[in-house]
């Protein structure tokens, strides 16, 4: 699926200036007084034909002026045609890519025989494979597993992506977005793009005022899934026949609207 976006979308308001030639055309159009001479029909006919040619010429000039204003506005807004992944080929302008890789515990949910974390890694590697030696990349995770103090030039090693672990650190994605956008101030290229790879189990409310192209990619499009959480209430050690056992009391919370049965709980 393709989408058209603009690197400077705020400039698009200038496209409204295309109506200026239309306003000028109608208000500046002169309407001469009618003078009818019955004996000069040939002259009147000749004049009407000449006026028709002049009107056609004026309309063509009007269209050209409108197109010029529209094209200038679009050129300044810098339109880009994109699909999933940074580009559809390896031939593109140098771009700085930032990827927010959600590695929270909800990403351990399995769908289509893969965990969401594994699906996220596949998408991250697809984007990484499109990066050329002229591009720069930076990956943000909730536990700062890959995050460095600078952008990497060229694609990073797939092993770094493969080894992204799950984390208990609950750093909001909003804060990662804000940090990534701020880091673009030190971007070595004119083009910047931010990708958010997540299951969006948490609410995102970040509002960008920099016109940075931000792409939210849901790693799991399965709308029907069990939204459960476990809360440990207490733990204690019990003795039985000279053996010691760890007992864990926990509470299962069902956040969905359907009944869920027979689910395995794992203790990390």
Convert the pLDDT of each residue in 93-133 to its tens digit. Answer: 899 999 999 999 888 888 778 899 999 999 999 999 999 99
Residue scoring higher pLDDT (87 or 172): 172
Tell me: do 55 and 28 sit in the same domain.
yes
Strands 95-101 and 191-198, by their bridges, are parallel
Angle 128-98-180 from CA coordinates, rounded to 5°: 165
User: CA-CA distance, 154 to 152, in Å (whole number)?
Assistant: 6
**Which of 50, 80, 110 is the last residue in one of the domains?**
80
pTM: 0.57
pLDDT, mean over the chain: 78
Domain residues for 107? 86-218
Residue 51 shares a structural domain with residue 170: no
Query: How confident is the model at residue 17, as a pLDDT?
Result: 67
Confidence band (pLDDT; 50, 70, 90) for 85? very low
pLDDT at 135 over 90: yes
How large is the average pLDDT for residues 198-227? 81
Residues 113 and 15 reside in one and the same domain: no
pLDDT tens-place string over residues 20-58: 767 776 666 666 556 555 555 556 666 666 666 777 777
Residue 47 to residue 175: CA distance in whole angstroms: 71
Residues 234 and 111 reside in one and the same domain? no
Backbone torsions φ then ψ of 165, nearest 5 degrees: -95, 165
Three-state SS for 183? helix
pLDDT of residue 36: 57
| pLDDT of 84 | 46
Q: How far is CA 204 from CA 86, 128, 175, 200, in A?
A: 22, 24, 10, 8
Judge if 11 and 29 occupy the same domain.
yes
């Amino acid at each position: 699926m393709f989408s058209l976006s603009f690197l400077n979308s705020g400039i698009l308001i200038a496209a409204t200036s295309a109506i200026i030639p239309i306003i000028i055309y109608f208000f500046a159009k002169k309407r001469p007084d009618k003078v009818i001479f019955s004996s000069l029909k040939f002259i009147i006919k000749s004049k009407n034909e000449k006026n028709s040619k002049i009107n056609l010429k004026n309309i063509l000039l009007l269209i050209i002026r409108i197109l010029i204003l529209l094209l200038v506005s679009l050129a300044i807004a810098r339109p880009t045609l994109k699909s999933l992944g940074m580009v559809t080929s390896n031939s593109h302008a140098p771009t700085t890519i930032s990827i927010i890789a959600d590695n929270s515990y909800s990403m351990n949910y399995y769908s289509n025989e893969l965990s969401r974390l594994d699906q996220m890694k596949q998408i991250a590697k697809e984007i990484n494979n499109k990066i050329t030696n002229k591009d720069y990349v930076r990956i943000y995770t909730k536990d700062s597993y890959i995050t460095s103090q600078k952008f990497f030039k060229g694609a990073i090693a797939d092993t770094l992506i493969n080894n992204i672990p799950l984390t208990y650190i609950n750093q909001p994605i909003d804060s990662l977005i804000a940090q990534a956008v701020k880091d673009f101030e030190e971007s070595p290229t004119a083009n910047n793009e931010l990708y958010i790879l997540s299951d969006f189990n948490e609410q995102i409310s970040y509002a960008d005022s920099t016109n940075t192209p931000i792409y939210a990619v849901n790693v799991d499009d399965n709308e029907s899934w069990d939204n459960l959480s476990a809360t440990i209430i207490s733990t204690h050690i019990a003795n039985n026949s000279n053996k010691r056992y760890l007992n864990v009391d926990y509470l299962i919370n069902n956040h969905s609207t359907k009944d869920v049965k027979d689910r395995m709980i794992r203790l990390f």
